[in-house]
Structure 1
Amino acid sequence: MSQQHSAAPAPTASAVATVGRRRDWWRDAVIYQVYPRSFADSNGDGMGDLEGVRTRLPYLRDLGVDAVWLSPFYASPQADAGYDVADYRAVDPMFGTLLDADALIRDAHQLGLRIIVDLVPNHSSDQHEWFKRAVAEGPGSPLRDRYHFRPGKGVNGELPPNDWESIFGGPAWTRLPDGEWYLHLFAPEQPDFNWEHPAVGDEFRSILRFWLDMGVDGFRIDVAHGMVKAEGLPDLGSHEQLKLLGNDVMPFFDQDGVHEIYRQWRLVLDEYSDKRGPEGPSSEGRWWETGGRIFVAEAWTPTVERTANYVRPDELHQAFNFQYLSAAWDADELRAVVDRTLESMRPVGAPATWVLSNHDVTRHATRFANPPGLGTQIRLAGDRELGLRRARAATLLMLALPGSAYLYQGEELGLPDVVDLPDEVRQDPAYFRGAGQDGFRDGCRVPIPWTRTGSSYGFGDGGSWLPQPEGWGELSVAAQTGVPGSTLELYRTALAVRRERPDLGPGDSVEWLKAPEGVLAFRRGEFVCVANTTGESVTAPVRGRVLLASGEVSEADGEVKVPADTTVWWATD
């Protein structure tokens, strides 16, 4: 017979808050990434904003997540979607004001949600006051020491100081009219800070305190593997540098010196984490201080072993697991990544993290719709039905693993990448610079749908900054809410089950079970997860009560058939 598994009731705010008060809440937290410009628009200008996020916080509470990570909303010329920061202590007017940020943080805490904000320490905007003054004052200005200014090579200094390439394509150096060059590992509008200069470290410790005083619960550190460059800025000597990213140690990434910066930052964070508030929510909303503040590293490293260096006990708390995100929907490859991740994190006592999508990569519903080996930025729709089936299965697998999980806005709706955006509407800076990243990140940044109808499917009253596809409304929150088997209800149920079962969440190991080829099966206490990555149905190698399945499973003669590309959760108690 077929089994349908309906959604469990959403946890109440008090239940969420109770869980959130645990010490080391981050060891098994489910953290939801909000890309503010694409989440909800409160004023009808076509651009999402902080007030829009605030009004949708109850939806995130009911979804069952523990924390919300906000991509940058700081004052910025928006040359790279806010990752070019002009003022780290101000909100860009397109997103609102500091009062809006304060209201969002307070409301989130009242709902039992924590707030993590992005921090961009590798580079600033070229409109940052430091850089503008450094340029205006010319060669010899002390402010130029806070960035990487150098004379060029060649007879007249007409060649860049070294052979480094920008991640977005082209040289990593731009020459000013006065003859000096400055380093930018990303867009020319994003000059790299010189972290050897003490003023840079002083400034960022002050920025940390500013936002901690505002009440944020942590920071996601952009390009956490950057900041420190090899002494002397040596040539790399390769003409295909971008192919080496994430596969080798580079003179500008993953240098050992970054770890001293994080040890200093950890001292600041621990001052705030050691504060104590009353047990439970109060009129002042101080309950979250009992659970600690955290750092999360975006660190692209060659191996998970090197990633573990960032989460040693006196440094950061979590680091994104990009090896897992990059893994194909293949049982052997997934098991190898899981084993290596858990083995690497165990010695440093840090939790593993698991992530399938974010604002920089093709959504996993589209990535899994295509053959493996195409990378993490794809411009092909692939097989939509296959991609969604695998995405749902991959999500249940991820949420069953020990540690913390990250969700990207809209994945709970099963959204695909929008792969057919007209070139003239694209805004990814990498798209306009040849030989860099593929530049197709706009496809995962299209504003999400909330309603079946309307000028922007409930995103706002004034359209959307990137065009939404026809039919987007049928994937909306309204279209899926309360519908058995919908992807949204699958996520809600999975997060509720994960919260209720003590054998899910924190931990540093799994017990692998014997399973047919192409099938992953593991036990955690009295919980068993089976993921069939093959194209054929298999007989489940366990007995017990089915808790949840990403697809429709069938039982006959005491056996459970797990369909192709399906994950099932069992209780064996």
Structure 2
Amino acid sequence: MSEGSWWRDGVVYQVYPRSFADANGDGIGDLAGIRSKLGYLADLGVSALWISPIYPSPMADFGYDVSDYRGIDPLFGDIAGMDALIADAHALGLKVILDFVPNHSSDEHPWFRESRRSRDSVFRDWYIWRDPAPDGGPPNNWLSNFGGSAWTFDPATAQYYLHLFLDRQPDLNWRNPVLREAMYESMRFWMRRGVDGFRVDVIYHVMKDAAFRDNPPNPAFREGIDADAHRFLPVHTADLPETQGIVAAMREVVDEFPDRVLIGEIYLPLERIVAYYGENLTGAHLPFNFLLIGTDWHAPTIAGLIRRYEAALPAGGWPNWVLGNHDKPRIASRVGAAQARVAAVLLLTLRGTPTMYYGDEIGMQDVPIPFAEVRDPFELNEPHKGLGRDPQRTPMRWFPREGAGFTRGTPWLRIGDDVGTCNVATQADDPESMLSLYKALLRLRRETPSLSRGDIRVLEASDAVLAYERSHEGERVVVLLNFTDQPADLPIPEPAGRVLVSTHAGVAEGALRAAEARIYRLV
């Protein structure tokens, strides 16, 4: 791939490090485990691995509570191991993307320890401190995304500190220029070591209202069903106009190094997602588009989403698509095993950069976790609302045996009862498996410029079937997807061309079989 094109032409693969591969047998995945599987990722055909946080952390939120932005937690390894992983990945043609967590640190970070020591500390303004309200309570009605008030009182200094997540994750004050430069230098630290870019955690939260005004009530809030944080609309705690300046500054730092990428985690409506490309594309290269995760699995609905997203993109903005991640239920659990195959074709044939979640390529589903074994603080803070994220974070299955080839110890989360069939080794020998389908799709994408960089045109969508065309420099490909569990007539005349891939074995022509997707090369 040409300079600057890897993140456009390629496919990103998310690794949740606790659950990918455990080399030392403690039941928790580590860098040595990831390093041992780089050959698998190269053979699979992805272009980059995005590694969720591996920084030093007390693990209150499994690494999203960072106590040192320039180190590696001993649970995962050390700096030398990270350097070796980066070198090995690059030798295999793989890029490495790290998670960057700028909204908050751990309460055990030296910066916060110094900040809370005294109101006169030089680090005091690196975090967000406020006096109590007149009644002695929190300064305003802002709520934590994990439940309860976003303010915790510190008796030693008689002020509250802000935390939009756990009370052990105090929010950093991005209005402080010294804090900003320290964070930018942490980004440079990793890029100097060869990291190829960052996925920036909750980038849309980093700036908060300077006047600390209350958030307005959410009229759509459902008591006992919705997460407590949705009780109010986050108009003063998310997506503030000043955020765009921070994103642009992060982009400037990334652009100091050749051929790097900046990806932003953004859970916002479509028109706000695309704003994070920035003025004249000076923001994130890829503001994450999560809209497929929450969209109804229905051909006309997906067709409408594609059209709206393509129309909303700024001139020159490169699209991207995501089917799942460590925070949301797995695609195979959302739509079922048969439709998960259709989803694979959709993800890898839409225009833009796809991001895969580890295990989706073998059809992993959410694993039920008994409450006594729950590890996720979200579920522990708001129990029995179905908000927990443990089910989609369970260990990768490499072999059909105890421990699934993930660990020789006791896994940190249970593995699941379908490990006998849902594992890499078994599926590698089955030409009709989900893994074989993903490999075929990734190979086709690499070999077919219209799929990696071509234009897209939605041809038609019936109640059952979505049809679209991808084209590039005279090469044309048509994709047909049946979103139902019944045979379906094509909404367009059958393309006059060769079937390159079908989700089903046997002859692929005429009406689509139940849950079948096909890719045609036009003649």
> Which residue is 1:546 aligned to?
499
Indicate whether 1:82 and 2:82 are aligned.
Answer: no
Q: Residue 561 of structure 1 aligns to a residue in which SS?
A: coil
> Which residue is 1:170 aligned to?
148
Indicate whether 1:145 and 2:92 are aligned.
Answer: no
The CA distance in 1 between the partners of 2:192 and 2:111, in whole Å, is 24
The CA distance in 2 between the partners of 1:245 and 1:26, in whole Å, is 34
1:412 is aligned, of 351, 356, 361, to: 361
Output aligned runs, 1:83-162, within 5 Å.
Answer: 83-137=64-118, 139-155=119-135, 157=136, 159-162=137-140
TM-score, scaled relative to structure 2: 0.93
How far is the alpha carbon of 1:554 from its aligned partner?
4.1
1:255 is aligned, of 232, 240, 245, to: 240
> Which residue is 1:425 aligned to?
373
The CA distance in 2 between the partners of 1:481 and 1:449, in whole Å, is 12
How far is the alpha carbon of 1:517 from its aligned partner?
2.9
The CA distance in 2 between the partners of 1:350 and 1:244, in whole Å, is 32
Output aligned runs, 1:478-497, within 5 Å.
Answer: 478-497=425-444
The CA distance in 1 between the partners of 2:462 and 2:113, in whole Å, is 62
Q: Residue 237 of structure 2 aligns to a residue in which SS?
A: coil
Change (3 A) 1:246 1:105: farther
One-letter code aligned to 2:121: S
1:186 is aligned, of 142, 160, 165, to: 165
The CA distance in 1 between the partners of 2:116 and 2:234, in whole Å, is 31
The CA distance in 2 between the partners of 1:299 and 1:246, in whole Å, is 20
The CA distance in 2 between the partners of 1:177 and 1:438, in whole Å, is 34
> Which residue is 2:27 aligned to?
46
The CA distance in 1 between the partners of 2:32 and 2:207, in whole Å, is 36
Matched-pair identity in %: 40
Higher relative contact order (CA 8 A, sep 6+): 1
The CA distance in 1 between the partners of 2:515 and 2:148, in whole Å, is 41
How far is the alpha carbon of 1:484 from its aligned partner?
1.3
How far is the alpha carbon of 1:448 from its aligned partner?
1.0
> Which residue is 1:382 aligned to?
none
Change (3 A) 1:565 1:417: same
Indicate whether 1:403 and 2:352 are aligned.
Answer: yes
The CA distance in 2 between the partners of 1:86 and 1:496, in whole Å, is 40
How far is the alpha carbon of 1:83 from its aligned partner?
0.1
> Which residue is 1:350 aligned to?
317
Contact persistence 1:389–1:551 (CA under 8 A): no
Q: Residue 356 of structure 2 aligns to a residue in which SS?
A: strand
How far is the alpha carbon of 1:524 from its aligned partner?
1.4
> Which residue is 1:537 aligned to?
487
> Which residue is 1:69 aligned to?
50
CA RMSD of aligned residues (A): 1.9
How far is the alpha carbon of 1:101 from its aligned partner?
0.4
Segment drifting more, 144-153 vs 66-75: 144-153
How far is the alpha carbon of 1:471 from its aligned partner?
3.3
Contact persistence 2:103–2:206 (CA under 8 A): yes
Deviation track 1:28-52 (CA, whole Å, cap 9, x = no partner) reads: 3210000011000011111100010
The CA distance in 2 between the partners of 1:207 and 1:109, in whole Å, is 21
How far is the alpha carbon of 1:515 from its aligned partner?
5.0
Output aligned runs, 1:231-242, within 5 Å.
Answer: 231-238=210-217, 240=221
> Which residue is 1:57 aligned to?
38
The CA distance in 2 between the partners of 1:247 and 1:391, in whole Å, is 34
The total of aligned residue pairs comes to 507
How far is the alpha carbon of 1:397 from its aligned partner?
1.2
How far is the alpha carbon of 1:523 from its aligned partner?
1.1
One-letter code aligned to 1:94: L
> Which residue is 1:328 aligned to?
296
1:449 is aligned, of 397, 401, 426, to: 397
Deviation track 1:383-415 (CA, whole Å, cap 9, x = no partner) reads: xxxx01111101101211111000000000100
Q: Residue 528 of structure 1 aligns to a residue in which SS?
A: strand
Contact persistence 1:175–1:182 (CA under 8 A): yes
TM-score, scaled relative to structure 1: 0.85
> Which residue is 1:440 aligned to?
388
How far is the alpha carbon of 1:565 from its aligned partner?
2.2
How far is the alpha carbon of 1:252 from its aligned partner?
0.7
Change (3 A) 1:65 1:254: same
Segment drifting more, 510-519 vs 405-414: 510-519
Change (3 A) 1:232 1:516: closer
The CA distance in 2 between the partners of 1:430 and 1:219, in whole Å, is 24
Q: Residue 263 of structure 1 aligns to a residue in which SS?
A: helix
How far is the alpha carbon of 1:327 from its aligned partner?
1.1
How far is the alpha carbon of 1:332 from its aligned partner?
1.5
The CA distance in 2 between the partners of 1:100 and 1:190, in whole Å, is 27
How far is the alpha carbon of 1:154 from its aligned partner?
3.2
One-letter code aligned to 1:148: I
One-letter code aligned to 1:186: F
Change (3 A) 1:247 1:405: farther
Q: Residue 21 of structure 2 aligns to a residue in which SS?
A: coil
How far is the alpha carbon of 1:258 from its aligned partner?
1.2
Q: Residue 175 of structure 1 aligns to a residue in which SS?
A: strand
The CA distance in 1 between the partners of 2:297 and 2:210, in whole Å, is 41
